[in-house]
A and B are shown apart, each in its own frame.
Chain A
Amino acid sequence: MDNNSKNRWVDEALDSINNAYRAMPDDALFNKIEQRLNVPFTKKKVIPLRIVSAAAACIIVLIMTNIYTIYIQKGSNVGRDGAQSVAAYYDINNTANEIMGL
């Protein structure tokens, strides 16, 4: 595969769209446009991307704060609650309290 034949093929490929003629839309397209023009025009309200991004960032921060709070809350209780529930299950409350230093 030599570079000349590759370049020739690339040139031919690029030329293939140079010789194209302009495509014409369907004759009925103008009627469709007229029909749409007869419908009362209401311009869509576009919300700027900046506001959407800011709202998304706020929601993410809120969710992360909630998750963090739950995590911290659970982390402080998990040792004691876990040990006490196991102790209660096996009815060894005193031993558990000794282990926990209570």
Chain B
Amino acid sequence: MLPEELLLLTSQGDKNAFRQLYEMFNSRVYNTCLYYLQHVPDAEEITQDVFIEVYHSSAKFRGGSSVSTWIYRVTVNKCLDKLRYNNRQKRFAFVSSIFNRDTGALQHDKPDFNHPGISLENKEKAGIVLNAIRQLPENQQTAFILKQVEGVSQKEISAIMDLSEKAVESLLQRAKANLRKILGDFYNQNEGLDNN
């Protein structure tokens, strides 16, 4: 069954259709969340939020874009909201109870993230790249994650981000250039990486 049909049935309260829609998109939504948030519990929470939003807003879907585009748009917006919320929490962390008394670590600092889909031999380098992605501006992050990680077409990215295809192309170029710069700086600061 097509996603549009499943969404229509979902809007009529068909839980089975909703389950099929979930099966169709859950890995795309979860994976996108993982790259943005780099924290498994946060990614699971936002995946839940996305599908709950999809369920409750299914009746409002007018078909102006594909279901996939719409679900990606909801996912991106929810992830960016969560990232902003996390950043606000970090900013105010020093005002509230900043330090965990046992370890002295910042309560809002998240541990290093290991993406479950990355092979063991690539984990270290991928960790550095993920850190670099986090340093990109929001719109560059979105363009890069959707294109490089999710393999979404430039046309669909432009629909998701509500930008022209040219603007998306420019964002991607800037994202790649910035990533290369961040990674290059990391390399310069850590001599001997070339031996790895």
> What is the minimal beta-carbon distance from A50 to any residue of chain B, in angstroms?
17
Interface locus among B61-69, B155-163, B187-195: B187-195
Q: Chain A at the B interface: mostly helix, strand, loop or mixed? A: helix
Contact between A9 and B126, CB atoms less than 8 A apart: no
Contact between B48 and A23, CB atoms less than 8 A apart: no
> What is the minimal beta-carbon distance from A22 to any residue of chain B, in angstroms?
5
Tell me the bound Cα distance from A81 to B4 in angstroms: 80
Contact between A20 and B194, CB atoms less than 8 A apart: no
A25-53 interface code vs B (CB 8 A; 1 in, 0 out): 11001101110110001010000000000
The one of B19, B118, B187 in contact with A17, judged by C-beta atoms closer than 8 angstroms, is: B118
Q: Chain B at the A interface: mostly helix, strand, loop or mixed? A: helix
> What is the minimal beta-carbon distance from B109 to any residue of chain A, in angstroms?
23
Contact between A24 and B30, CB atoms less than 8 A apart: yes
B112-131 interface code vs A (CB 8 A; 1 in, 0 out): 00011111001001101110
State whether A17 and B130 are in contact (beta carbons under 8 Å apart), knowing that A22-B117, A33-B48 are contacts in the complex: yes
Asked whether A21 is an interface residue with its Cβ less than 8 Å from the other chain, the reply is: yes
Contact between A29 and B26, CB atoms less than 8 A apart: yes
Asked whether A14 is an interface residue with its Cβ less than 8 Å from the other chain, the reply is: yes
The one of B22, B26, B27, B179 in contact with A14, judged by C-beta atoms closer than 8 angstroms, is: B179
Asked whether B136 is an interface residue with its Cβ less than 8 Å from the other chain, the reply is: no
A residues less than 8 Å from B122 (CB atoms): 16-17, 19-20
Contact between B187 and A6, CB atoms less than 8 A apart: yes
Chain A residue total in the interface (Cβ 8 A): 29
- Which parts of A3-17 form the interface with B (CB within 8 Å)? 5-6, 8-10, 12-14, 16-17
Chain B residues with CB under 8 Å of chain A are: 15, 19, 22, 26-28, 30-31, 34, 43-44, 47-48, 51-52, 55-56, 115-119, 122, 125-126, 128-130, 148-149, 179-180, 183-184, 187-188, 191, 193-194
The 8 nearest A-B residue pairs measured at CB: A16-B122, A16-B125, A25-B30, A5-B194, A23-B117, A16-B126, A20-B117, A13-B125
Chain A residues with CB under 8 Å of chain B are: 1, 5-6, 8-10, 12-14, 16-26, 29-30, 32-34, 36-37, 41, 43
